[in-house]
Structure 1
């Protein structure tokens, strides 16, 4: 079974950086990782330095950018998260799929924030996140019922993901 975990946060909260580091970590561990990025406005341009380029450079076996009316291949077909996840689960043997964005998706999420203002992400989600990643300084802003992960502790976050993969809870 392919595990799916999302990463949500406001702009500049560190989603791309964290996902790229986790892709490298899990790829180096022998897992086949895919990344799906949400382009809510349809303005995404594939260029040097683009998020999807970072993911590929980090070792992702697949990257998909989903816009309102297309996905990275620009085929005007499936544009919802769940069919893309199903396609990656069926057509390829990915052990892990990271989803950037899709705050309203049904998948489990790790909410990221780098300052007090961005902590609002926790309350803006339709369901509580599976975990929160931020700096220790902001731990007090996270409800005690939600696991807290240090945003720069890649090994710690990876371990949390691995534990939940084994439990089939992500």
Structure 2
């Protein structure tokens, strides 16, 4: 399955952009998976809830299942799984979007925002495109540059390149 990462400095607007991009891709009938890297750690269940209490009691793997969604929470005794491991666990989608992993070797699209993050971050070796809200030209390597406010253009690019 094809995958591509969106990289930028924290606070640039990756999640907001990906929300809009996912909506465009869903309009095209695509099945999308997303891996979001959070270098700071996170909690998805809330203190006081049964799942939280059981996980804090020492459960190593927690699966929450309901009529509309299922989520699995695993405690990593040996460290964070690699992106490759996470990718291997995803099935039955047309495209995997990745938010983060800026130092990885996967194909990347760099998001840039005027007066906040105007310089690409991380490992630039596999950058395939840029998204910016200002004229970013010439882009290094003459790569395509897409308008941050027009995710439909990026959706078309991803479909033509990966699907």
Alignment TM-score, normalising by the size of structure 1: 0.71
RMSD: 2.6
* Aligned residues of 1:119 and 1:141 also touching (Cα < 8 A): no
In the alignment, the residues of structure 2 paired with residue 144 and residue 138 of structure 1 have an alpha-carbon distance, to the nearest angstrom, of: 16
Q: After TM superposition, where is structure 1 displaced by more than 2 Å over at least 4 residues in a row?
A: 45-48, 74-78, 140-144
Unaligned runs of 5+ in 2: 47-68
| Unaligned segments of structure 1, at least 5 residues | 49-61, 65-71
- What is the count of residue pairs matched by the alignment? 139
Offset of residue 138 of structure 1: 3.3
Question: In structure 2, what is the Cα distance between the partners aligned to 1:128 and 1:15?
Answer: 18
TM-score normalised by the chain length of structure 2: 0.74
Report 1 or 2 for greater relative contact order, CA contacts < 8 Å, sequence distance ≥ 6.
2
1:1-170 aligned within 5 A: 2-42=1-41, 44-46=42-44, 73-76=73-76, 79-88=81-90, 92-116=91-115, 118-121=117-120, 124-135=122-133, 137-140=134-137, 142-143=139-140, 145-166=142-163
Q: Is the helix fraction higher in 1 or 2?
A: 1
Distance 1:36 1:150 in 2: 23
